[in-house]
Amino acid sequence: MPASLRELRERRASVSTIKKLTRAMELIAASRIVKAQQRAAAAGPYARELTRAVSAVATYSNVDHPLTTEKPDPKRAAVLLITSDRGQAGAYSSSVIREGERLNQLLRDDAKEVVPYLSGRKGIAYYTFRQREVAQSWSGDSDSPSFARAREIADALIEAFLTPTEEGGVDEIHIVFTRFVSMLTQRPEVIRLLPLEVVEGDEPPAPDEVLPLYEFEPSASEVLDGLLPKYVASRIHYCMLQAAASELASRQRAMKSATDNAQDLIESLTRQFNQARQAQITQEISEIVGGASALADANAGSE
């Protein structure tokens, strides 16, 4: 049974309001992606120079640093899960959380205890709803992460890493984040942050490249002491920037399809509305015609 004209008109109005909304969100996400990409590009030189320096120390000296040393029998593993603060981003948060769950399972199968660290309200909500214990969590700036926030996280993780396992420390640290491959593809990924596997720069030196002989001031181990925490912070910042760009790209795509769907719905509602209106007019005409002929018949009979 066709809905009434008034109902159809109301539904169409509300769908077009929703369309305006999702369209606005799509545009906002699109403009922020550009900014997020610029930020990622601006953070590039720092990360590149740091990687170069860290691999220089690692290559030209044989110092052992606690942050690069594998612990013999890892028991506790920290997992930093980077999610978004807000929803309306399609499957973004759920797919990164799913990747995190997979990693957790893998670690548990290896008889390691998982210590979760969370960034972003969505992840926090997921964990609190399931009443899981969380070591530490951060939220508030998932779509434009600052370096200060990355350092805060890095400091907390390094501290946990340097604490002995028996006193609640962890033996290894993994990050689960979403890599921004392109506007269309964002992939949830896992990387191991600590112990560091140095020389994993974006561009490994060519095999025939002669690497320079370095002087260290004051000494290689002290330089490494100063560098590694910065390197860790810069890696985390990189992951967060990637995650932010991915979040915005997913949001833009989700909002685009929402806008398209709203448009389809508006079209079909308009059709139904026109049909109902036409049916009403036809009915009115046939009623008038019927009434007129009945009147004519009655008049003819009385004469």
Partner 1 sequence: MADESAKHLEVALVAAERTVWQGQAKIVIARTTDGDVGILPGHAPLLGLLQGGTVQVRTTDDEYFVAAAPDGFISVANDRVSILAENAEMGRDIDLEEAKLALERAQAAGTDSEDEQEHVRLAEARVRAAEQAS
Instruction: Please report whether residue 45 would count as binding partner 1 according to CB under 8 A.
Output: yes
Distance CA(75)–CA(110), nearest Å, equals 9
Q: Which of the ranges 135-143, 168-176, 188-196, 214-222 carries the binding residues for partner 1, by CB under 8 A?
A: 214-222
Distance CA(22)–CA(10), nearest Å, equals 19
Distance CA(53)–CA(45), nearest Å, equals 12
| Surface-to-core class of residue 276, CB atoms within 10 Å of its CB (0-12 exposed, 13-18 middle, 19+ buried) | middle
Q: How far is the CB of 114 from partner 1 (least distance, A)?
A: 28
Instruction: Please report whether residue 86 would count as binding partner 1 according to CB under 8 A.
Output: no
Q: Which of the ranges 118-126, 128-136, 219-227, 288-296 carries the binding residues for partner 1, by CB under 8 A?
A: 219-227
Instruction: Please report whether residue 228 would count as binding partner 1 according to CB under 8 A.
Output: no
Residues 212 and 117: beta-carbon distance below 8 Å: no
Instruction: Please report whether residue 212 would count as binding partner 1 according to CB under 8 A.
Output: yes
Instruction: Please report whether residue 222 would count as binding partner 1 according to CB under 8 A.
Output: yes
Q: How far is the CB of 145 from partner 1 (least distance, A)?
A: 10
| Identity of the amino acid at 211 | L
Which tokens hold the place of 171? 């033996």
Nearest to 247 by CA among 36, 5, 12: 36
Instruction: Please report whether residue 50 would count as binding partner 1 according to CB under 8 A.
Output: yes
Distance CA(280)–CA(38), nearest Å, equals 57
Instruction: Please report whether residue 194 would count as binding partner 1 according to CB under 8 A.
Output: no
Which tokens hold the place of 72? 């013999």
Residues 136 and 155: beta-carbon distance below 8 Å: no
Our CB check for partner 1 shows the closer of 81 and 223 to be 223
Q: How far is the CB of 67 from partner 1 (least distance, A)?
A: 16
Q: Which DSSP state fits 196?
A: -
Instruction: Please report whether residue 140 would count as binding partner 1 according to CB under 8 A.
Output: no
- Which of 235, 237, 251, 256 lies at the binding interface for partner 1 (CB under 8 A)? 237
Beta bridge mates, 189:
177
| Identity of the amino acid at 92 | Y
Distance CA(171)–CA(72), nearest Å, equals 9
Instruction: Please report whether residue 230 would count as binding partner 1 according to CB under 8 A.
Output: yes
Instruction: Please report whether residue 110 would count as binding partner 1 according to CB under 8 A.
Output: no
# residues contacting partner 1 (CB under 8 A): 28
Task: Build a one-symbol-per-residue string for 55-84: x at contacts with partner 1 by CB under 8 A, - elsewhere.
Answer: -xx---------------------------
Our CB check for partner 1 shows the closer of 8 and 193 to be 193
Count CB-CB contacts under 10 A for residue 170: 26
Instruction: Please report whether residue 43 would count as binding partner 1 according to CB under 8 A.
Output: yes
In angstroms, how far apart are the furthest CA atoms of the chain? Answer: 125
Residues numbered 142 to 171 that lie near partner 1 (CB under 8 A) are 146-147, 151
Contact set with partner 1 (CB under 8 A): 39, 42-43, 45-46, 49-50, 52-53, 56-57, 146-147, 151, 212-218, 222-223, 226-227, 230, 234, 237
